Structure 1
Amino acid sequence: MNLQGKKIILGVTGSIAAYKSALLIRLLVKEGADVQVVMTQAATEFITPLTLATLSKRQVLTSFVNESTHLWNNHVDLGLWADAIIIAPATAKTLSRLASGHADDLLTTIYLSARCPIFFAPAMDVDMFLHPSTVNNIKTLLSYGNHLIAPEHGELASGLVGDGRLAEPETIVYRLRKFFAFRQVAQGKRVLITAGPTAEPIDPVRYISNRSSGKMGYAIANAFAMAGAQVTLVSGPTSIKVSDTDISVIHIQTAQQMFEATESHFEGSDLVIFSAAVADYTSEQVASQKIKKQGSAMVLNLKKTTDIAGTLGSEKKPGQLLIGFALETEKELEYAIDKMQRKNLDYIILNSLNDAGAGFAHDTNKISVIDTNKEVTHFTMKSKDEVAQDILDIVLNKWSEV
C-alpha cells in the first residue's frame, strides 16, 4: 500500500463536515499510515478530540501547549515530521489564513513550517466557495505548490445545492495513494521545460517579442518538481519566480540562446515540454546604436529562428517523451496534429485564443491534449496550476505503463 508507514498530519477545522474526519482517519490507519490529528478550537465544537484520538491512537493536538503535560507542541518538529499534511475540512477562514501566512494557531504554524506536500479539501456553502476572495485564496495556495482536493457538488448543510461539500474520505485517500504512487514513478526522472517568450533585439533599446507571460511553463515546472522529478527550466524574460528552489532555472533572452540551452540538456532528459512561445523570426542585423526615426516607413529584414521542437524532435531517443504546445486561432485541431507529426512529438497541448480566459497572460487556461493516435482529451477552463496537474497526471500515467 502506498500509504504504509507514511506520517500524515490531518488538520481539522471548524466545519459541520468535521464529522467525516472520523472515517478519514479510519481509512488512513487501515492503509498503514501514522496519523497525527491537529484541530482548531472551532473544530472541537463539531467533533470531540477524544473521538479522533481514539481512532488515530494518538493524542489530538489543539494548542501550542499540551494541557495535561504542560509541554510545548513544537510546530517546527511537527512540520518536519510529516510526509504529508491534509487539511480536511478546510473552511473559508482557514484558506484565507493559509494563503496570507496568518499563523496564529498550531495548525497554521505547522503549515508554514512544513516541507512536505500539503493537501487542502475545502468545505463550505456554495456562495462562500464561489466568492472571489475564496477563489483567489485557492489560486494563491495552488501557486505555492499545494494540492487541491476539490469539493463535490450536492446538497449542503444550508439546504442549498451546489459546489462546496467536502470530498468523501474515500476520495481523499485515493488522491493521497495516487500522489505517493506517482511520486515513486517521477522520482529521479529528468524533466526539461521551456517557458516564457523570447526577446529578439533590433537595437540596444528595441526588440521583437510576444505576449507570453511564462505562467504555464512555470506552473508545469512546479508541478513536476513537487512530484519528485529533477526539473530544468529554460526561461525567457519573465517576472515570475519558481516556488520550488530545487528547480534549476536557466535564464535566456533570444531564441538562439533558448535553443542552445535546451539542446545542451536534451540528451539526458526523460521528458521535454516545449511550452515557451519562441519567436519564429529574428532581425538579420542588430544595430549597435538606437535606430532614429526617419522618413514615413522603416523596413526590417527578418530571418527564421531555429525550430527548437522540430530540431530536437528529429533527435528523439527511444523512451524519451516530447510534449509541445499549439496556440491557434483557426483550424485548431488540424494545425495542432500537423505540428505534432512534423516535430515528432508524443503529445500536443492545444489552446485557442478563441476561448476567453485561455492563452497568454491569463491565470487560467483551457486545453485539449492530443496523442499520436489522434485521440483528443478535452479539459474545462482551470487555473494554470490545475492545468499543470492535469499534464503531470498524463505523463505519470504514461510512465506507469512502461
Structure 2
Amino acid sequence: MNLQLKLRLSSMMFLEFFVWGSWYVTMGTFLGTNLQARDQDISLAFSTQSFGAIIAPFIVGLIADRYFHAQKILGVIHLLGAGLMFLLYNSSDFSEFFPLIFIYMILFMPTLALVNSISFNQMKNPEKEFSVIRVWGTIGWIAAGMLISFLAWDSQEGMADGLLRNTWIMASMVSLGLGLYSFTLPSTPPRASSNEKFTLSNALGLDALSLLKHKNYAIFFLSSILICIPLAFYYQNASPFLTEIGLENSTGKMALGQVSEVAFMLALPIFFSRFGLKKTLIVAMLAWAVRYFFFAFGNAQDGVWMLLVGILLHGICYDFFFVSGQIYTDSHAGEKYKSSAQGLITLATYGIGMLIGFWAAGQISNFYLDSAGSHDWKSIWMIPSGISVLVLLFFISFFKSEKTELKP
C-alpha cells in the first residue's frame, strides 16, 4: 500500500472515531446537566448503541454487501448523521433527544464495519497493514476528548454556561466533512451478488452457533456477554462520575484510556505469546475489577491517582479481552465461519451484553441517588467490580487452557 493511500485511509479512520468521541464520552454528563435527564433516561440513551449493533448486520449484509459501494453508503450515512447531530444540538428535552439519538446510532453503528471494509479492500496483507490504519481511529477519539477539555466545555464553569452542548455541533461539522470526504475514497464495490439470497442467520452470524458445541468456546462466549455488563457501567457512568466529584478536564483525562489502548495493543502479541489465551483473558477481567475498585475509593483530591490508574487500565481491559477474544474466535471459526463468527460475538457483546449492562447501570445509579441529586458512587462502582470478580471466578473454574496462535 502506497503512502498516499495510507494517508487517505488513516484520515478516514481519524474522522470516523473523532465524530464518535466528540459526543459519546460526555453524553451522560450532557443529559444530566443540560436536559436534566434521569439515570434511567441516560441508560436508555446509551442502550441505542446496543440496538444499533443488533440492527447493523441488516444494513451491512442486506445493502452494503449487495447493492451499493461501501464508500458511498458511508458518505450518505455521515451526511445524514451531520443533520441529526445538528438536531441533537438544538434538542431541549429528553423526549425530543431520544428518538434522534436512536435513529443516529442505527445509522452510525454500520459505519464501523464500512470503514473496515473499505480499508481491507485496499490491503494485500491485512494482518500487518490494518493496525497501522486503525490506530488513527483511536488517535481521533483521543483528539476529540483532548479538544473538549482544552476548550473547557466539560469544566464546571463551561457546563454552567451550557457549553457542553457544543460537542454536538462539533460532531455535526466533522460528520459533514467526513460525509463529503467519503465520496473521494477508493472504490469498494459490493462483495456479494445482488441475486444471492440474504438470510437472517448469516447476517447475524447465527450460522456460527455451531461453535458453541465446543465447551471451552461456550464458556468464553458466555463470559464475553457477562463481562460487557460491567463494561457498560464505564461507558455510561464514568463521565458523570468524574464531573460530579469535581475532576477538572475529565474528558481529556478519560482520553488517556485510549492512549493506554494503543500501548497495550502493542504489548498484546508479546503477552499473548508468552502466557497464552487463558492468562491473558484472566488479566483483562481482573483489570476490570481493579479499575472499578479504584473508582470506588478514588476522589478528586488526594485520590486522583486512583482515578487515573482506573482510566489507564482501559487498555488492558479492552485489548486483552476483546482483541484476544476476536483472535480466539477466529481460530475456532475456520474459513467457513470467519465472518459470521465475528458477527456473532459482536452481537453477543455490544448487542446483548451491553444492553443488559446499560439497563443495570441506569437502575443501580438511580437507586443510589439521594434527594439532593448526588450519587453514592462508592456503592455504585463496587457493584460492577463485584460482577467482574464473579465472571472471573466463573471463567477460571470452567475454561480449560488451550493453545491459540496469534497471527503476525
TM-score (norm 2): 0.22
Q: Which has the higher strand share?
A: 1
TM-score (norm 1): 0.22
Q: Which has the higher helix share?
A: 2
Q: Which has the higher contact order (CA 8 A, sep 6+)?
A: 2
Bigger Cα Rg: 1
